[in-house]
Amino acid sequence: MLNSLTEDRVAALRSALPDDRFASADAGHLQEPRGRYSGQAGLLALPRSTDEVATLIRQASHMRVPVIPYGGGTGLVGGQVAEAGPIPLILSLEKMTAVRAVYPEENVLIADAGVILADVQAAAEQVDRLFPLSLAAEGSARIGGNLSTNAGGTGVLRYGNARDLCLGIEAVLPNGEVFHGLSRLRKDNTGYDLRHLLIGAEGTLGVITAAALKLFPRPNASGTALLHVTSPAAALSLLALARDHVGDGISAFELIGAQGFAFLDETMPQIRNPWGATPDWCVLMELGLTGDQNPASALEGLFGAAMEAGLVQDGIVAQNAQQAADFWSIRENIPEANRRIGSISSHDISVPLGALADFIAEGDRRIARLGAFRINCFGHVGDGNLHYNVFPAPGKSRADHEADRPQIKRVVHDLVHEMGGSVSAEHGVGRLKVEDMERYADPTKLDAMRAIKAALDPHGIMNPGAVLRAADM
């Protein structure tokens, strides 16, 4: 049974480290970005080193106090806040921001877990390398949180998820012991891979404190284009055609629907819409090429072949870096436009590529049966990951449809499950999708996960209620 952080337990924690390692949790540490979860805390801890993290976890384990690991606070599934249960300790790694080492010849960078993702990218650029994990929140998301949630982003098609970009980790386990797995090795077959167990565990099995990250050569040249595709099915055919033309040179392939542009026009008119008449569907494509390949020529050749195949109706190739940045600003600001409109129910899902077009069509049909709603469907179509979000009709608000939210979510997730997909593609499970895990996950997998949790965290102190239902909740 877990215990709340009472005054005497707070005093015990404070006695273990210097005074400036503690503070009162502010609103930023207690609420997730969409405002659906508001947390509680008895104390905010701000350790400066792995040893200090270990000291805090040992104390919390001894007192049976829950610990909520906190990264950049950008998660959208409630994994970083605890609304109910015993009052926890929030453990933030925001003061652990050192890039410990860079090995350009090895294409490896070692960073504390509290380093902001954009700063990891910048450190790689300083040695003429690329760290390809990229997402809208990269200016505030921290690498430990990215790994704990196995973040995806726009580069998954070419480089993989956060899991694929990590060679080793250092972490503090629930008993306060430090796992020294900060390896730069690309081959190591010595037993169970605890790195991959802790990546994606959302802080339920320990706290990642540092990581050895993979770097890549920077492309010599890049090219960006917006292409008006005739349908989502045509977008997938275009992706196959692009692979035939440029191989693995495709860095990103993003599907954007007309509703996304409409929301930007409504909430952020400073974001320029480059289309005269907004297409129902378009693809934002980026190429990163090496050697003597010319991305502009490659895009023009691809556009001609796609026109001949009837896959595209129009296209705009960025003529300079600023125009490419403007195109990306459209994609990166759609989540903020969504937030300002206020979704009734948002869904981070994936389906097999062959089922993607059918999912979009059938999803629209099933939602229409429930009432008059707007759907903003967009995402990383190259890896089957869609953000399929349902909004109120014009003149209505999210509050008007709170009662409809469970049914909408169930309809969408049932369809995802029918098509062999996942109801959590890249944002994690958190607290938002615990019931979905119980409904859709393979029972054997769930049993194994519970056994692992019980073995590594027998007192259940680490992020209780996230991913798996807490035993006493």
- What pLDDT is attached to residue 472? 60
Rounded Cα distance between 170 and 209, Å, is: 6
**Count of CA atoms in the C-beta half-sphere (13 A) of 242:** 30
- What pLDDT is attached to residue 473? 45
- What pLDDT is attached to residue 41? 79
Pairing state of beta strands 250-257 and 281-289? Answer: antiparallel
Closest CA to 260 of 240, 296, 284: 284
CB atoms inside a 10 Å sphere around CB 472:
11
**Count of CA atoms in the C-beta half-sphere (13 A) of 43:** 24
Give me 152's structure tokens.
Answer: 């995806």
Is the Cβ–Cβ distance between 459 and 63 less than 8 Å? no
Give me 161's structure tokens.
Answer: 């998820």
- What pLDDT is attached to residue 29? 85
Rounded Cα distance between 82 and 89, Å, is: 10
**With a cut of 70, which residues of the chain have pLDDT below it?**
472-473
The CA–CA distances, whole Å, from 319 to 224, 226, 228, 299, 331 equal 9, 12, 17, 12, 18
**Model confidence over 121-153: pLDDT tens digits?**
999 999 999 999 998 889 999 999 999 999 988
- What pLDDT is attached to residue 154? 85
- What pLDDT is attached to residue 77? 84
- What pLDDT is attached to residue 291? 74
